[in-house]
Amino acid sequence: MKLKHGRVASRCKFEAAIHIVITGASSGLGAALAHFYAAAGVILSLAGRDLARLQTVAAGCRARGAEVAYEVVDVTDAAGMDRWLRTRDTACGVDLLIANAGIGGIGAIAPDNGEAGDLARQIIEINVIGVLNTVTPLLPRLVGRRRGHVAIVSSLAGFLGLPDAPSYCASKAAVRIYAEALRRRLAPHGVRVTAISPGFVDTPMSATLPFIQPWLWPADRAARHIAAGLARGKQEIVFPWQLHLAVRFAALLPTAIIDRVLIRRSLQGHHS
């Protein structure tokens, strides 16, 4: 059986099942992706920290016909992630691994010292080390099978250093480049890697942002767009195009000009 994203399914409990792992599936984009993929013949392995929300998402996915396993595990727990991922892969070979879990960065700002150290460290640990903990345990198995698809959720904030979220921007730039390098490393071994860089998506995370979010997409629309890009085997999925263009254009401007624009925008945000 050919999968939506064009690969041959692994044979598990079902005659032909596709196995998708999603971290951060208890909320926002991860939950929307889980709901999008949920269907008969699909095995979903979902992870998050909040048991009640994870159970709600799992129940919704089961109602759509998917077989669902869920796990409360923190992505910063390397041993816990390794154990969970290997167990799930042994139950049924993973076809698509989506490293989506992450936290936002605005709360890390402390006006006196730039960023609150503890939160800044947490952002890097969850958004960067958490991605490594999600991706690395299964790489030898994917390479051994010469198939599989790894998707890593970055952000358009990873294209430009925003004064309101230094650690968040750094974390998202890190995982975008990590995905790019991994893609080039694993392509000869038959494993796909896609970097996903959304703009603003309507989720509990973006609901905390204290400014207007241009081209805000509903989470289900973002999930559909991401799934379509993954199915086409795209190397990078970046949306919406308007914000992508704006960010690319800003990066081409002389540093002094873009610095002035972003600093003024940040100060206006603090005073409004």
Ligand X SMILES: NC(=O)c1ccc[n+]([C@@H]2O[C@H](COP(=O)([O-])OP(=O)(O)OC[C@H]3O[C@@H](n4cnc5c(N)ncnc54)[C@H](OP(=O)(O)O)[C@@H]3O)[C@@H](O)[C@H]2O)c1
Q: What angle do CA 77, 83, 85 make, to 5 degrees?
A: 95
Binding window for ligand X (CB under 6 A); candidates: 10-18, 19-27, 183-191, 244-252 = 19-27
- Give the nearest distance from C-beta 51 to ligand X in angstroms: 8
Partnered with residue 193 across adjacent β-strands are: 150
- Is 24 a residue that touches ligand X (CB under 6 A)? yes
Smallest Cα–Cα separation from 14: which of 53, 59, 52, 44? Answer: 44
Q: Is 37 a catalytic residue?
A: no
User: What residue has token string 């869920």?
Assistant: 70
By CB under 6 A, residue 133 contacts ligand X: no
Report the residue from 76, 136, 235, 266 that binds ligand X according to the rule CB under 6 A: 76
How many Å apart are CA 258 and CA 103, to the nearest integer?
A: 26
Stretch that binds ligand X, among 37-45, 196-204, 230-238, 254-262 (CB under 6 A): 196-204
Count the site residues for ligand X by CB under 6 A. 29
CA distance linking residue 140 with residue 236, whole number of Å: 23
Of 23 and 194, nearer to ligand X (C-beta) is: 23
Candidates 59-67, 69-77, 134-142, 238-246; binding stretch for ligand X (CB under 6 A): 69-77
48 binds ligand X (CB under 6 A): yes
- Asked if 208 contacts 165 with a C-beta cutoff of 8 angstroms, the reply is no
Specify the DSSP element, H or E, that contains 149.
strand 149-153
Is residue 34 near ligand X by the rule CB under 6 A? no
List binders of ligand X among 205-234 (CB under 6 A): 205-206
Query: Contact at 8 Å (CB) between 174 and 128?
Result: yes
Q: Are 174 and 125 in contact, with CB atoms under 8 Å apart?
A: no
Contact 153, 179 (CB under 8 A): no
167 scored as a contact of ligand X (CB under 6 A): no
Regarding 55 and contact with ligand X (CB under 6 A), the answer is: no
Which residues belong to the active site?
A: 168
List interacting residues with ligand X (CB under 6 A): 23-24, 26-30, 48-50, 53, 74-76, 100-103, 126, 130, 153, 155, 198, 200-201, 203-206
